[in-house]
Structure 1
Amino acid sequence: MSEIRLIVGLGNPGREYDFTRHNAGFWWVDALAQQYSWSFRAESKFHGLVARGRLEGHELFLLKPQTFMNVSGRAVGALAQFYQIEPGQILVVHDELDLPPGGVKLKFGGGHGGHNGLKDIFSHLGTREFWRLRIGIGHPGERAAVVNYVLNAPRAEENGQIEHAVQRGLQVAPLVFSGKLEAAMLKLHSN
Structure 2
Amino acid sequence: MLLIAGLGNPGQAYARNRHNIGFLAVDEIARRWGFGPERSRFKGLAYEGGIDTPEGPVRALILKPQTFYNESGRAVGEALKFFKIEPSSLVVFYDEIDLAPGRFRMKTGGGAAGNNGVRSITAQVGPDFRRARLGTGHPGDKDLVQGHVLSDFHKAEQPWVEALVRACADAAPLLAAGEDERYQAEVMRLAPAEKADPKQLARGKD
TM-score of the aligned structures, taking structure 1 as reference length: 0.91
Out of 35, 51, 73, the position equivalent to 2:47 is 51
Q: Hey, what does 1:132 align to over in structure 2?
A: 131
Match in the other structure for 2:101? 101
C-alpha deviation, 1:54, in angstroms: 2.4
Distance 2:33 2:182 in 1: 22
User: In the alignment, which residue of structure 2 is the partner of 1:110?
Assistant: 110
Which residue is 1:62 aligned to? Answer: 62
Give CA deviations for 1:20-40 in whole Å, capped at 9, x if unaligned. 100000000111111122221
1:10 corresponds in structure 2 to 7
* Separation in 2, partners of 1:161, 1:36: 21
* CA–CA distance in structure 1, aligned partners of residues 159 and 186 of structure 2: 21
Change (3 A) 1:128 1:170: same
What amino acid is the match of 2:179? K
CA deviation after TM superposition for structure 1 residue 183, in Å: 2.3
SS in structure 2 of the partner of residue 167 of structure 1 = helix
- Does residue 151 (structure 1) correspond to residue 150 (structure 2)? The answer is yes
Post-superposition Cα deviations, 1:88-123, rounded to whole Å, max 9, x if no partner, equal 100000011011111111111122111110010000
Q: State the partner residue of 2:32.
A: 35
Distance 1:187 1:15 in 2: 31
Identity of aligned residues (%): 39
SS in 2 for 1:144: helix
How many residues end up aligned between the 2 structures?
185
**Contact 2:29 2:168 survives alignment (8 Å):** no
Aligned partners of 1:75 and 1:175: how far apart in 2? 25
CA RMSD of aligned residues (A): 1.5
Show CA shifts across 1:120-174 (max 9, x none): 000011x211111111111111001111111110112223222222223223211
The CA distance in 2 between the partners of 1:141 and 1:16, in whole Å, is 25
Which whole-Å CA distance do the structure 1 matches of 2:183 and 2:101 have between them?
A: 20
Query: How many Å separate the matches in 1 of 2:46 and 2:63?
Result: 5
Q: TM-score, normalised by structure 2?
A: 0.84
Gap runs ≥5 in structure 2: 193-206
User: Can you give the 5+ residue segments of structure 1 that lack an aligned partner in the other structure?
Assistant: none
